[in-house]
Amino acid sequence: MQYLMLVCTDPTAEPDAPEVQSIEDWVEENDRLGRRKYGDRLRPAGEARVVRVRQGGTLVTDGPFAELGEQIAGFDILDCKDLDEAIEVAGRHPMAAGGLVELRQFWQWEDEA
């Protein structure tokens, strides 16, 4: 099963656990084990553009506005046997201690048939 893991900052959070490994070590371990298929850091939200189509026109505005201040800092695509394994992998990401990590399973089209 594949999962999109969104790695987010949380400026209001204080880390409650010491980092046991660097992000680079987390990436290397999960690449080696075949659980991480791809991932990367993202440019700051202030550089993003929001695109909407309304009344036949395309509207483009500067980056998203997040009241809580959380910003997506990066992402990874995980390939895990199930949700429990994906949670374990995400829970060991260093940003889980001071930011937040969101998991979303890829849509399984064959489940609809």
Three-class SS state of 112? helix
CATH homologous superfamily of 2-107? Dimeric alpha+beta barrel (3.30.70.1060)
- What's residue 13's pLDDT? 79
Number of H-type helices and E-type strands within the chain: 3, 6
Instruction: Give the separation between CA 93 and CA 39, rounded to whole angstroms.
Output: 13
Looking at the predicted structure, is the pLDDT value of residue 84 above 70?
yes
Binned at pLDDT 50, 70 and 90, residue 98 comes out as confident
Give me Rg for the CA atoms of the chain. Answer: 16
